[in-house]
Amino acid sequence: MAGIIEVRDLWHTYLRGTPLEAQALTGADFDLAPREIAAIIGHTGSGKSTLVQHLNGLLRPQRGTVRVAGLDLADPGLDIRQVRRLVGLVFQFPEQQLFEPTVGDDVAFGPRKLGCDRAEVRRRVREAMEAVGLGFEAFKDRYTFGLSGGEMRRVAIAGVLALEPQVLVLDEPTASLDPQGRLELLGTVLRLRDERGIGVVFVSHNMEEVAELAERVWVIAGGRTALSGSVQEVFWRAERLRELGLGVPQVTRLMGLLRERGLAAPTDVITLDQAEAAVWTILNS
Amino acid sequence: MGEPLIVVEDVRFEYRGRGAEPIRALDGISLAIGAGERLAIVGQNGSGKSTLAKHLNGLLLPGSGRVLVAGMDTRDPARRRDVRQTVGMVFQNPDNQLVATVVEEDVAFGPENLGLPSDEIRRRVDESLDRVELSHLRLRPPHLLSGGQKQRVAIAGVLAMRPRVLVLDESTALLDPLGRAEVRAAVRRLHSEGTTVVQITHFMEEAVEAERIVVLSGGQIVLEGSPREVFREAELLRELRLDVPQVAALAKRISRRRPDFPSILLDVEEAAEAIVERSAVSRQRPADAPNADC
């Protein structure tokens, strides 16, 4: 299947040609298939936010290629708005970026800017709000500043969904949410993919949530792709991940300890259900 | 528990917006924190835990009830300075807490404002940076440090005030796993050296390191005890929208099917031990255990 996003050998230097220049990307690769959920992990400063900002053309490639649905982002003649409509980017702490007094107006900002008529704006706002679990009638006239942090974050995501993108890119969507807020947000992401066929790219430091949600994982280190593959393939490389300043889920670490003690614990355990089955087998063998 | 250093007595607190309904954030909290104790406060967003943290050094004052810090009432304006010096706070976002352009100047900011002589400031800065293991970065600009390093600079800045209590309000929430591990190691060390630590956190792996966990919901304490006692209440925690560590959930599941398995395990080492003990290997150990790959 052709990728909806293809990144090849991408380089990016901030403040190029000045004494403060800093290389953020040094040959990163990334792919997203349609309807795929991919996680990008890497420690702070690894270049993952810089990579993510290329996916909707906020940054243009200095070297290497970025293609979105076949559009070449290095092409100076490209109408970048085409890319922005295909790929919606939600920044870290998007709740700090709400600016309209009411929820409905905030979500409507994008479709209004696109020039949609009143009825179309209303339809899009309603659908986007329902998609993130905010009832349209209950929330459209609520003041944004009176919402909880988790609700504000969902409003921000709805604002991007109202542009009806094919791919949603979320930079640390669950940072500082409580466990339940995190579960709800992950549920929303999964529903968006299952019901609307939206592809999802999310950046995360939480290895348990990467294990639960992602189909493919991309590990960025020192500005390039250090590892990629299915979640099992990546978490199997626990030692390498530790070298890169990353962790693995607790149950994956537990299986490693059991193998060190001479037990036949499987190497592909990343979720609680898998761990339960594995431990049960060990105890009864 | 040693003698109480902080006493919270039936504290209630409301946030009032103009024209808006007041929001009750704390609803009758009573709590004593012992000298040298390590306490974790957990609860979902909006449970009141940050509001409680801000009461511990008088950043917020009780609507009713009172907070005593080393015997000083936080409502007494004459003691406010002493209260803040006794209880130091570190917040979530390191970028909002660093003020100077060089690490050691940032750490010196507090003691300078106390008007201390310069050799005393020097001594405190050196000692504080040493305690968080950042002496080698003393001349760096803070904005070029990693998140974990920045947060340790913030902790050093608080330590330079020589507080008896360190309150960390979700101080690892924005850090990557490496940064979180750095800050956790620093906190562990400070506690072992005698500093009283109060940690507000969403990370249950952090909470299990505390001696006592207080669970807040709706501005009230709903559960309190050792990590073992608290994480035994998996159902209640789930109702309160909280997590348990993955290995604790695993232990619960296995023990349900096999009663001789411990129903509560808190970390991976302990879990591995419990499984090894009950497996065939412990009865018949192979001569040479194969080398594990991770």
Q: Are residues A277 and A188 in the same domain?
A: no
More confident of the two residues A208 and A157? A157
Chain B residue with CA closest to A207: the answer is B177
Q: Are residues A36 and A93 in the same domain?
A: yes
Question: Considering CB atoms only, which of B177, B243, B275 is closest to A179?
Answer: B243
Say whether B178 and A245 touch across the interface (CB within 8 A). yes
Tokens representing B179 are: 């940064």
Q: Are residues A182 and A130 in the same domain?
A: yes
How much is the pLDDT for B19? 63
How much is the pLDDT for B202? 86
Run means of pLDDT, 10 residues per run, chain B, 294 residues: 86 81 90 96 89 95 96 96 94 85 93 92 94 91 85 93 94 83 91 95 90 95 95 87 87 92 91 90 50 46
Say whether A176 and B202 touch across the interface (CB within 8 A). yes
Tokens representing A151 are: 């609700």
pTM of the model: 0.78
Short-list B227, B183, B256, B195, CA closest to B42: B227
pLDDT confidence tier of residue A220, bands split at 50, 70 and 90: very high
**Block residue for tokens 């996003």:** A5
Q: CB within 8 A of A190, min separation 6: which ones?
A: A37, A213
Q: Are residues A207 and A262 in the same domain?
A: no
How much is the pLDDT for B68? 97
User: What mean pLDDT comes out for the span A95-115?
Assistant: 91
pLDDT tens digits for range A188-209? 889 999 999 999 999 998 888 8
More confident of the two residues B95 and A220? A220
Q: Are residues A88 and A146 in the same domain?
A: yes
CATH number, domain at A22? 3.40.50.300
Q: Are residues A70 and A209 in the same domain?
A: yes
Q: Are residues A111 and A48 in the same domain?
A: yes
Q: Which domain holds residue A258?
A: 249-285
Q: Are residues A56 and A76 in the same domain?
A: yes
Q: Does A146 touch chain B (CB under 8 A)?
A: yes
Say whether A279 and B254 touch across the interface (CB within 8 A). yes
pLDDT confidence tier of residue A123, bands split at 50, 70 and 90: very high
How much is the pLDDT for B286? 47
Does residue A38 surpass a pLDDT of 60?
yes
| Min Cα separation A106/chain B (Å) | 21
Does residue A30 surpass a pLDDT of 90?
yes
E strands in chain B: 4-15, 23-34, 38-42, 64-69, 72-73, 87-90, 165-169, 196-200, 212-217, 220-225
User: What mean pLDDT comes out for the span A90-104?
Assistant: 88
Q: Are residues A21 and A151 in the same domain?
A: yes
Tokens representing A194 are: 């299952």
Q: Are residues A241 and A257 in the same domain?
A: no
Q: Are residues A170 and A267 in the same domain?
A: no
More confident of the two residues A207 and A226? A226
How much is the pLDDT for A255? 93
User: What mean pLDDT comes out for the span A62-86?
Assistant: 94
Between positions 34 and 63 of B, the ones with CB within 8 A of A are: 43-46
Domain count, chain A: 2
Q: Are residues A276 and A152 in the same domain?
A: no
How much is the pLDDT for B293? 46
Helix (H) or strand (E) holding A28: strand A22-32
Q: Does A257 touch chain B (CB under 8 A)?
A: yes
In sequence order, which ranges of B167-221 are alpha helices (DSSP H)? 177-192, 204-207
